[in-house]
């Protein structure tokens, strides 16, 4: 299995190369040169597998045995989900009109636990083999940071440098980053929004000299292997609700950087009968792009109750475009370069019109809170604000007889009779992670051991204040060996 850039500039790249890099050299993102196909028979034969077993089956389609033997893979993945508080890792439960995939039973209460721990182990394995150390540089809206720090804990070949926006993360998220006591983590609290940091990180990553000398890695949602790993949980969830692989299923995904949704699109492209409903909030680049053909960033990022969705630059949309364009790298390159130069691009009609397994919807702040409230009132079930954003259009899709539901789901052209009968809400975070928002809507906060444990621990963080030279400070930290074990 080899990888190529979405923009067509590079081909024939190995798995380990992709694992230990970020953007492709031509500015694009890596994708498999040929997506493996998963037939219905194969799907059915996987229905009884546990999460780790399924991960291994699917992963062996993405990496050749010359690069990673089945034995190596087995030992890397062994016990990686032991810290989860659900024996089946990713339980799917029926609540009212939808199924809910509770993807947050990992040690930091967020679906990123399903991928980052695997990613860290894989990275450490290949670094050890090469005799290298690497730095994971993360700009987080809140969730990736804590999970990334936790995922590399104790690893000799990796350190994490994480920066988070102090004004918009929840207190639990902040404590998850600042109280780990991890020696191989350097944590910065900054005064801006996450997109500010994303731009700085993009500069740093584009400094090839620095990137090579210090082996900089990104665990952010553009990471190719993270997207591959995201594809795995869509297959797993599909098989929970359709073990016979005989029907198509809609999965509604709260969308920020589009890494998770891109994994879902990849699973669909591989032949799994799913449709992805990508649900955004007021930061609606994805929804505008696919409903109006208007791919442009908004004047400002809008802070909401679902901070992990507050992205004005959803980088993985490039991967979705790539699949929507059937891998037409030249057309994609035009769109992306136009966008990079003018922050605005008009999409070729075929992106919007012919991409049938990708729907979008946008849910505003009031609707998000109202949904949290009504799901609690009607079903006695607490959802986090991100999950609520995916819930609203999913429930409307499942119950409404009108064409597109009240929120105006974009991309669905068939009559209601042709719709997916099974609807899944992909629940990305534990409600216990967002006590402030739950109390706003009078939903009791479910107890979670890992939240109580955070209280009273010593915090450790460095500050990036307004007007400071943030890029300079980050570059200095990268050049130092601060944080390596
Ligand atoms: C990261 C995150 C998302 C968004 O995932 P993307 O892959 O960036 O689209 C949604 N919800 C929660 C709780 C998250 O932490």
Tokens for 322, please give them: 């790539």
Alpha helices in 38-87 (DSSP H): 40-45, 51-62, 70-77
391 C-alpha vs ligand 1 centroid, how far in Å?
A: 14
Residue 287 pLDDT? 95
CB–CB of 15/64 below 8 Å? yes
CA-nearest residue, atom 8 of ligand 1: 257
Q: Which of 195, 229, 260 to mutate to test the pocket of ligand 1 (most atoms within 8 A of CB)?
A: 260
CB–CB of 343/297 below 8 Å? yes
Residue 401 pLDDT? 66
Q: Which of 109, 284, 386 to mutate to test the pocket of ligand 1 (most atoms within 8 A of CB)?
A: 386
Residue 407 pLDDT? 60
309 C-alpha vs ligand 1 centroid, how far in Å?
A: 6
253 C-alpha vs ligand 1 centroid, how far in Å?
A: 9
Mean pLDDT by 10 residues, the chain (485 residues): 97 96 90 97 98 97 96 96 95 98 95 96 97 94 90 96 93 94 96 87 90 90 94 98 97 97 97 97 95 90 91 92 95 95 88 83 97 98 98 93 63 69 97 94 91 90 95 96 91
414 C-alpha vs ligand 1 centroid, how far in Å?
A: 29
Entry pTM: 0.94
> Which atom belonging to ligand 1 lies closest to the Cα atom of 256?
9
384 C-alpha vs ligand 1 centroid, how far in Å?
A: 12
Name every protein residue with a CB atom under 6 angstroms from any ligand 1 atom: 110, 112, 143, 221, 254-261, 308-309, 386, 428-429
Question: Domains of the chain, with CATH numbers?
Answer: 224-440 (3.40.50.1100)
CA-nearest residue, atom 2 of ligand 1: 308
CB–CB of 264/234 below 8 Å? yes
Kindly give, in sequence order, each residue whose CB lies less than 8 Å from that of residue 195, ignoring residues fewer than 6 positions away.
301, 311, 312, 313
Tokens for 3, please give them: 């990888």
Residue 128 pLDDT? 96
Residue 279 pLDDT? 98
Phi, psi of 283 (to 5 degrees): -85, 85
Residue 448 pLDDT? 85
129 C-alpha vs ligand 1 centroid, how far in Å?
A: 32
161 C-alpha vs ligand 1 centroid, how far in Å?
A: 20
């Amino acid at each position: 299995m080899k990888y190529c850039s979405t923009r067509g500039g590079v081909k024939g790249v190995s798995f380990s190369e992709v694992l230990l890099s970020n953007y492709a050299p031509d500015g694009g993102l890596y994708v498999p040169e040929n997506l493996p196909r998963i037939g219905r028979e194969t799907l059915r034969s996987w229905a009884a597998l546990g999460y780790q077993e399924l991960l291994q089956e699917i992963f062996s389609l993405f990496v050749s045995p010359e690069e990673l033997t089945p034995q190596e893979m087995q030992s890397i993945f062994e016990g990686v989900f032991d810290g989860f508080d659900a024996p089946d890792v990713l339980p799917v439960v029926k609540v009212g009109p939808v199924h809910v995939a509770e993807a947050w039973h990992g040690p930091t209460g967020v679906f990123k636990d399903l991928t980052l721990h695997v990613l860290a182990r894989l990275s450490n394995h290949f670094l050890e083999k090469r005799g290298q150390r690497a730095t994971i540089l993360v700009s987080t809206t809140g969730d990736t940071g804590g999970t990334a720090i936790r995922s590399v804990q104790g690893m000799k070949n990796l350190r994490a440098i994480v920066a988070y926006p102090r004004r918009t993360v929840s207190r639990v998220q902040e404590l998850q980053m600042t109280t780990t006591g991890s020696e191989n983590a350097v944590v910065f609290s900054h005064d801006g929004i996450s997109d500010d940091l994303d731009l700085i990180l993009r500069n740093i990553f584009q400094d090839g000299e620095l990137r090579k000398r210090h082996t900089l890695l990104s665990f952010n949602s553009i990471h190719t292997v993270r997207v591959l790993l995201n594809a795995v949980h869509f297959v797993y969830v599909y098989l929970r609700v359709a073990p016979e692989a005989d029907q198509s299923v809609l999965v509604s995904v709260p969308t920020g950087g589009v890494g998770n949704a891109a994994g879902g699109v990849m699973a669909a492209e591989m032949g799994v009968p799913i449709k992805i409903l990508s649900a955004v909030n007021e930061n609606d680049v994805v929804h505008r792009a696919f409903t109006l053909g208007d791919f442009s960033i908004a004047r400002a990022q809008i802070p909401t109750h679902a901070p992990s969705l507050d992205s004005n630059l959803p980088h993985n949309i490039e991967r979705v475009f790539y699949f929507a364009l059937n891998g037409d790298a030249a057309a994609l390159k035009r769109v992306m370069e136009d966008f990079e130069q003018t922050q605005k691009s008009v999409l070729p009609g075929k992106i919007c019109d012919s991409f049938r397994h990708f729907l979008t919807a946008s849910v505003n702040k009031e609707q998000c809170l109202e949904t949290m409230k009504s799901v609690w009132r009607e079903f006695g079930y607490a959802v986090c604000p991100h999950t609520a954003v995916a819930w609203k259009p999913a429930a409307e899709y499942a119950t409404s007889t009108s064409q597109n539901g009240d929120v105006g789901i974009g991309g669905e052209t068939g009559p209601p009779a042709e719709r997916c009968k099974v609807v899944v809400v992909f629940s990305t975070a534990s409600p216990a992670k967002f006590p402030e928002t739950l109390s706003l809507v009078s939903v009791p906060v479910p107890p979670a051991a890992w939240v109580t444990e955070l209280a009273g621990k010593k915090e450790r963080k460095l500050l990036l204040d307004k007007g400071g030279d943030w890029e300079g400070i980050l570059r200095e930290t990268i050049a130092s060996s601060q944080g390596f074990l």
